[in-house]
Amino acid sequence: MTHPAVEIRDLTFTYPDGRQALRGVNLRVEHGQRVALLGPNGAGKTTLALHLNGIYTADSGSVQIGDLILADTSLAEVRRRVGLVFQDADDQLFMPTVRADVAFGPANLGLRGGELDARVAESLVAVGAADLAERAPHHLSGGERRRVSLATALAMRPDVLVCDEPTSGLDPAGRRELVAVLRGLAITQLLITHDLSFALELCERAVIVSGGTVVADGATADVLADEQLLETHRLSLPYGFNPATVGKRNPGA
């Protein structure tokens, strides 16, 4: 394909209170890549993610998804192409049943009947949650809710999946399940996370955002091996964790 999956050029954004959150961000993500977006709290990671489907509008610069530049006229299609999974599942799950939550987006696109049922089933199977279809979302475990949130995004058949802190609040079993699901998805992924071991396990590439701009971009093992870089940007590896050795065992699977 001639266009990358995501191309962000010179993106700037200032909140109404005058705080500048993004300062000329440039980022290119190729089709099929899984990229970890790292950085301290307040660095601009989530703000950047919310520009990818037009929830926020930039002061200047551009966002392009595939061959489509984000604009008022392309907003609906860009939002279909970019699936956002929020950190808090309560922001995503609000219907009486899992089935209804997953059906909500495609139904708004006009899908009905058997076509809608097939889309819901396909999305739930993709995240290993087919048996949860008739459950109430607020009765699910944290890991189950995370997988169902993913299914609501996948039901739109996006080209790019953006997950904000996907391992937040998960126990070890839920984390393992999530890693398996994300690894099995043949889709471009941008994963915002403070979990550096998760980033190394899943992503061949890591980008550090700090102070509203990209300060590092490279192979995940190389980025995480730079102790001075991590310390400068308020990131730290788990005790005893060696990205060089782990990277050899999990070479960007």
pLDDT at 246: 66
The residue type at 126: A
Half-sphere exposure of 73 (CA within 13 A, CB side): 2
What are the two backbone dihedrals, phi and then psi, of residue 14, each rounded to the nearest 5 degrees?
Answer: -125, 130
> Does residue 178 fall inside a structural domain?
yes
The token pair that represents 82 in the structure block? 């970019």
3-state SS, 168-206, equals CCCCHHHHHHHHHHHHCCCCEEEEECCCHHHHHHHCCEE
pLDDT at 249: 47
> Does residue 223 fall inside a structural domain?
yes
> Does residue 225 fall inside a structural domain?
yes
Domain that holds residue 82: 6-92+160-249
> Does residue 17 fall inside a structural domain?
yes
CB 163 within 8 A of CB 189: yes
- Domains held by the chain: number: 1
Interatomic CA distance for residues 73 and 91, integer angstroms: 26
**Segment-wise mean pLDDT, segments of 10 residues, the chain, 253 residues:** 92 96 97 97 94 96 97 95 92 94 95 96 95 95 93 96 93 91 95 94 96 97 94 87 64 45
Interatomic CA distance for residues 129 and 207, integer angstroms: 31
> Does residue 19 fall inside a structural domain?
yes
> Does residue 97 fall inside a structural domain?
no
Interatomic CA distance for residues 16 and 8, integer angstroms: 22
- At 43, which CATH number? 3.40.50.300
The token pair that represents 62 in the structure block? 């551009």
Q: For the whole model, what pTM was predicted?
A: 0.91
> Does residue 142 fall inside a structural domain?
no
- State the DSSP string of 68-108: EE-SGGGHHHHHHHEEEE-SSGGGT--SSSHHHHHHHHHHH
